[in-house]
Amino acid sequence: MVKLLELSKFSLDRFIVNNPALPVDFIRNAYYNGIGRHVCQLQRITVKFCKNSTDAKGVRQFIETDLVDWSRHNPGVVVYLKPRRHRTPVIVTEYLNGMSHWMSIRRFSSLEIQWWLEFLKDRSGYELSQLMSPVNVILPSVQGPWHPFLNRPTALNVSQFPNKDRGDYIPDKPTASQQLLQMAKEINTSQ
């Protein structure tokens, strides 16, 4: 299981994915979008809200203050407002390729709705999916993977074991006798 999670980034195999039940696809863009003029892929927004309930307070504030500015800023997007009693406030966004996205904005503040609208506007119409890489690579770096003899001196190939130098304990700090020798050396040099 851990192995699968690690390999999914480096493998092109479609069957190694984080969750095989969810959509998996290569990265796509709307045809020729960006080659000439950029076309906003968002076609229309339908905002359904209740005129009375507290869930829709943020939506109502957004409609009163920021909606007109936003729609003037994005002239390619059609905005429909549907007041519906006793229903949760909802945004339904439809894209040029026919996909639609339903989102509840219950108890969202005006600012949050603006943030979400930015996100929905920037999307292409393709559904959210795990992206596969079109480039297949088994070993992702030129250095080559680690193997046990990588950081070992090659002299070990021609040495006899047991090897005293390799087998010695390597202390972090100098031992007591080494410290005494150091102190003696310092005294001698100062004298």
Burial class (CB in 10 A: 0-12, 13-18, 19+), 32: exposed
110, amino acid identity? S
Q: Which stretch binds other proteins (CB under 8 A): 2-10, 96-104, 124-132, 154-162?
A: 2-10
Q: Sort 102 into a burial class: Cβ within 10 Å, 0-12 / 13-18 / 19+.
A: exposed
Any residues with CB less than 8 A from the CB of 40 and at least 6 apart, and which?
74, 76, 77, 121
Tell me the window of 38-46, 52-60, 66-74, 165-173 that interacts with other proteins (CB under 8 A).
165-173
Lookup result for tokens 């950029």 = 38
Q: How far is the CB of 111 from other proteins (least distance, A)?
A: 29
- Of residues 105 through 164, those in contact with other proteins by CB under 8 A are 139-141, 143-146, 150-151
Binding-site size, other proteins (CB under 8 A):
17
Work out how close the CB of 108 gets to other proteins at its nearest, in angstroms, rounded to a whole number.
Answer: 29
Q: Which residues bind other proteins (CB under 8 A)?
A: 1-2, 5-6, 139-141, 143-146, 150-151, 170, 172-174
